[in-house]
Amino acid sequence: MLEGFIKETSDPTTTMRITMRTTTIINPPCRQAPLHAAGYSLLELLVVLSIMATLMTIGSYGIKNFSKASGVSAAIPIAQGVFSQARALAIEKGTNTRVMMHADTRTDNLNRERNLRYMVVQYEDTDGNWVTATKGVKLPEGVFYSLVLSNRSTAPNPIQSSGALPGGAVQNCRTYEFNAQGIITSPPPTNGNDYGNDVPRFVIRAGSLPPGSTEPIPASGAGERNVGGFVIWKNGRTAVFRHPDQVFF
């Protein structure tokens, strides 16, 4: 940095003196960061990958079980809606109605697809014929109606009947019937008009259903208790089981 300078002339009359001073600025020495090797060793990478693989395996089992549990939870209101529709239709038309659960163990494609999953509502016309009133509803994949658990109470079991369902053929079905007042008549009350605690049940469970089987096979371990459903009171209304213990009671 220049602050001034000195210059003298040979002019005898004039002497000019200018001071020049210089200041030298010394830059501070540059600091160099120490050099370190970047990245991870092969051993560290292998450890991290092993941990990730373990967590993903555990997570996949959790997601699978959650999916099945959510299937049962989603199926319960679907089935309740079918029963509510049958009851409302009986009152509206002033005639008998019924919920038909497909329960045919024949191994053709139609029966395998519908067995213990497909439900329809029918009503009885003035000629005594049963007419299908709904398009038909399927329970979610991997969720099936359980004949064993639905029969667990001492109330009479739903009747086994045959009927022409959408598709043209006659199939065997489990049937719940309502009269013109919306009262469930099949299965009938346990003792006359008194239901007590032995009311008809509709129970579903998650699992698999091999061709020709009459009962779904539950998943092992905790999956055996992956069930749900409801009871049907005399007035035709339903009440959901709040815990698996109520289903297995």
pLDDT tens digits along 200-231 = 999 999 999 999 999 999 977 767 889 999 99
Amino acid making up residue 136: G
Residue 48: per-residue pLDDT: 77
Query: Which tokens is 93 given?
Result: 């038309």
> Is position 237 within any domain?
yes
d(Cα 78, Cα 208) in Å, to the nearest integer?
A: 19
Strands 217-218 and 201-208: antiparallel
Report in angstroms the alpha-carbon separations of 89 from 4, 83, 160, 217.
Answer: 109, 10, 22, 34
How many independent structural domains does the chain possess? 1
Residue 182: per-residue pLDDT: 95
> Is position 91 within any domain?
yes
> Is position 26 within any domain?
no
> Is position 192 within any domain?
yes
d(Cα 171, Cα 116) in Å, to the nearest integer?
A: 12
d(Cα 35, Cα 28) in Å, to the nearest integer?
A: 21
pLDDT tens digits along 125-156 = 999 999 999 889 999 999 999 999 998 877 77
pLDDT tens digits along 1-54 = 444 444 454 555 544 454 445 555 555 555 555 555 566 677 777 777 778 777
Helix (H, G, I), strand (E, B) or coil at 22: strand
d(Cα 71, Cα 78) in Å, to the nearest integer?
A: 11
pLDDT band at 57 (very low <50, low <70, confident <90, very high): low
Residue 6: per-residue pLDDT: 46
> Is position 57 within any domain?
no
**First-residue to last-residue Cα distance in the chain:** 98
pLDDT band at 192 (very low <50, low <70, confident <90, very high): low
Helix (H, G, I), strand (E, B) or coil at 26: coil
Residue 26: per-residue pLDDT: 54
pLDDT at 181 over 80: yes
Residue 77: per-residue pLDDT: 95
pLDDT tens digits along 77-119 = 999 999 999 999 999 999 999 999 999 989 888 889 999 999 9
> Is position 168 within any domain?
yes
> Is position 199 within any domain?
yes
Helix, strand, coil share (%) of the chain residues, nearest 5: 30, 25, 45
Contact present, 102 and 115 (Cβ < 8 Å): yes
The CATH number of residue 236's host domain is 3.55.40.10
Cα 19 vs. chain centroid, distance in angstroms? 92
